[in-house]
Amino acid sequence: MKNLLMTSAAMALAAGPVAAGSHSEEITLGVLMGFTGPIESLTPHMADAAEMAMKEVSDSGKLLDGMTVTAERGDTTCIDASAATAAAERLVTAEGAKGIVGAACSGATTSVLSNVTKPNGVVQISPSSTSPALTTIEDNGFFFRTAPSDARQGKIMSDILMDRGIEEVAVTYTNNDYGKGLADSFEQAFEEAGGTVTISAAHEDGKADYSAEVGALASAGGERLVVAGYVDQGGSGVVRSALDTGAFSTFHFPDGMIGTKLEENFGTMIDGSTGQLPGTDSPGKDKFEEMVGDAFDATSPFTGESYDAAALILMAMQAAGSSDPAEYKGHVMDVANAPGEEILPGELGKALDILADGGDVDYVGATAVELIEPGESAGSYREIEIKDGEITTVQYR
């Protein structure tokens, strides 16, 4: 009986690639993000961007002899690890996803990686998980991210403030992997550079009132308040309370706080505040925004990273000549980095042609992707300043 089972399993396995090779078929990719929860205003744009890359590849008809790519969405809720795991489990086992773009939040990404994608051997590329802990996590080579680690963002943040002559700040962070990781890496970088962090206090998301938190922050003092939180959640609450009590009038915002919601909520009240978010001035970015048009908001954070994550999965499949994650996982770094022909957004068809002929590509994409070991973006950042109530770009770092 055992033998019979083994044999039939082996046959089924053998039959898979044959069927795939013989005629055109579908490849399913999962788009796993927190469509509800603290960053629900960002994720729809990110998912649209990832699906745009899949559609581009499908329409070209050049992937593995004319395979089409379909996207299947799953909701991680961002904060509930078991919901994230269940959604990933569904994508991998029920929908048969060959790769996953996601998750968006670092906590969800960690639980999905250790409970679903690593045990099942599915490639997972996160466009926006920036927790430093993901650099050292055990992943068997199945995990990548097109977003940089917050260890890097902390350093950039410290540089921006130092360049403006600000040497004393108070820090508040949202009480989760993202907030804590970013606050710690910033504090370390800032103190190494000679600055002082007067207080580093957590705030819980989803509260109506942050006056106690702001009271403690105000008492500690500082020239600026660094808010490592979410714009849809406690981050905005803390800023409002700080403005109301006159505790702080200028702020520094990392990526989770920057969005159109920030302009809507505070407008000119936070003029002079600064911030940074992953971004680049490479030609890929303009090309990407032009391609998107009015389909969704291309300037929303992590849209380019999402497009790139999906594109990398598909190009790695082409390079490996197979949609089997165990085979194509080794090609992700190759297609992302030099040597090879540079590929911008909208040129995925061309890249697939080159790869099919056995050539090399260096994917630049919407965010000038450069993957460093162990499979994460080196990271370039857009420094912004609030002027007349609008987010304006100062420079790229």
Partner 1 sequence: MDFLNAIVALSNFVLVPAIAYGSQLALGALGVTLIYGILRFSNFAHGDTMAFGTMVTILMTWWLQSMGVSLGPLPTALLALPVGIVGCMALVLITDRVVYRFYREQRAKPVILVIVSIGVMFILNGLVRFIIGPGDQRFADGERFIITAFDFRKMTGLQEGLALKTTQGITLVTAVIVVALLFWFLNHTRAGKSMRAYSDNEDLALLSGINPDRVVMITWLIVGALATVAGVLYGLDKSFKPFTYLQLLLPVFASAIVGGLGNPLGAIAGGFVIAFSEVMVTYAWKKVLGHLLPESLEPSGLVQLLSTDYKFAVSFVILLIVLLFRPTGLFRGKAV
Question: By the criterion CB under 8 A, which residues form the site for partner 1?
Answer: 175, 199, 201-204, 206-209, 211-216, 218-221, 237, 244-247
Closer CB to partner 1, 133 or 202, in the complex: 202
Quote the least distance from Cβ 78 to partner 1, whole Å: 15
- Smallest distance, Å, CB 253 to partner 1? 19
Q: Based on CB atoms, which residue is closest to partner 1, 128 or 236?
A: 236
Q: Which is nearer to partner 1, 244 or 290 (CB)?
A: 244
Cβ contact 44:51 at 8 Å: no
Least Å distance, CB 234 to partner 1, is 11
Q: What are phi and psi of 329, to 5 degrees?
A: -60, -30
Q: Which residues pair with 172 in a beta bridge?
A: 201, 227
One-letter identity of residue 248: F
The Cα–Cα gap between 76 and 127 comes to 14
CB 242, min distance to partner 1, A: 10
In the complex with partner 1, the residue whose CB is nearer, 60 or 198, is 198
* In the complex, minimum distance from the CB of residue 397 to partner 1, in angstroms, rounded to a whole number: 32
Q: Which CB atom, from 229 or from 237, has the smaller least distance to partner 1?
A: 237
SS3 sequence, the chain?
CHHHHHHHHHHHHHHHHHHHHHCCCEEEEEEEECCCCCCCCCHHHHHHHHHHHHHHHHHHCCCCCCCEEEEEEEECCCCCHHHHHHHHHHHHHHCCCCEEEECCCHHHHHHHHHHHHHHHCCEEEECCCCCHHHHCCCCCCCEEECCCCHHHHHHHHHHHHHHCCCCEEEEEEECCHHHHHHHHHHHHHHHHCCCEEEEEEEECCCCCCCHHHHHHHHHHCCCEEEEECCCCCHHHHHHHHHHHCCCCCCEEECHHHCCHHHHHHHHHHHCCCEEEEECCCCHHHHHHHHHHCCCCCCCCCCHHHHHHHHHHHHHHHHHHCCCCHHHHHHHHHHHHCCCCEEECCCCHHHHHHHHHCCCCEEECCCCCCCEECCCEECCCEEEEEEECCEEEEEEEC
Least gap, CB of 86 to partner 1 (angstroms): 20
Cβ proximity to partner 1: between 231 and 335 the closer is: 231
Smallest distance, Å, CB 215 to partner 1?
Answer: 4
Q: Rank residues 169 and 214 by Cβ distance to partner 1 and give the closer one.
A: 214
Q: Which amino acid is located at 25 in the chain?
A: E
**How far, rounded to the nearest angstrom, does the alpha carbon of residue 302 sit from its chain's CA centroid?**
5
The number of CA neighbours under 13 Å toward the Cβ of 255 is 32
Q: How far is the CB of 217 from partner 1 (least distance, A)?
A: 8
Among residues 149 and 200, whose Cβ is nearest to partner 1? 200
Instruction: Please say which residue, 173 or 328, places its beta carbon nearer to partner 1.
Output: 173
**Nearest distance, CB of residue 249 and partner 1, angstroms:** 8
Minimal distance, residue 172 CB to partner 1, in Å: 9
Question: Judged by CB, which is closer to partner 1: 164, or 240?
Answer: 240
